[in-house]
């Protein structure tokens, strides 16, 4: 069974631009979560989608948004990019949303904002 895939793997943008990242969960998984990882920081939760609905949201500004499609694939968008948005963006999928559901991570998209 294929794992979580993320595209693109690497991205370079300039301040003020917007970016869209894509995540395809493991087949059959319906929950997709997004995380931001920066050097020296742990994984910072962005949001979780389940059945095309946002279930949970972290403490990020409204510039960060996401959505999920009927096939469970998910995208996240960051508008008006700032230098501090440079990070590894990780997507994780699980069978369902809720307690005791192991999340499986993709390789991440490394975003560099210049």
The residues, ordered by sequence, that sit 6+ positions from 27 with a Cβ below 8 Å of its Cβ are 1, 2
84 binds other proteins (CB under 8 A): no
Q: Cβ closer to other proteins: 58 or 79?
A: 58
| Closest CB to other proteins among residues 41, 70 | 41
**52-71: which residues touch other proteins (CB under 8 A)?**
56, 58
103 binds other proteins (CB under 8 A): yes
For position 106 contacting other proteins by CB under 8 A, the verdict is yes
Contact letters (x/-) for other proteins, 27-46, by CB under 8 A?
Answer: ------x-x----xxxx-x-
Q: Which helix (H) or strand (E) holds 55?
A: strand 53-57
Nearest CA-CA partner of 50 in 8, 108, 92: 92
Question: 42: Cβ–Cβ under 8 A, 6 or more apart, which residues?
Answer: none
């Amino acid at each position: 069974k294929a794992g979580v895939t993320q595209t693109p793997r690497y991205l370079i943008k300039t301040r003020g631009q917007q970016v869209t990242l894509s995540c395809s969960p493991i087949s059959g998984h319906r929950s997709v979560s997004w995380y931001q990882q920066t050097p020296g920081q742990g994984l910072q939760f962005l949001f979780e989608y389940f059945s095309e609905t946002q279930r949970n949201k972290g403490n990020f500004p409204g510039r960060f948004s996401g959505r999920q499609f009927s096939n469970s694939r998910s995208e996240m968008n960051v508008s008006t990019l700032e230098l501090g948005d440079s990070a590894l963006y990780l997507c994780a999928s699980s069978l369902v949303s809720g307690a005791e559901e192991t999340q499986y991570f993709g390789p991440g998209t490394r975003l560099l904002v210049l």
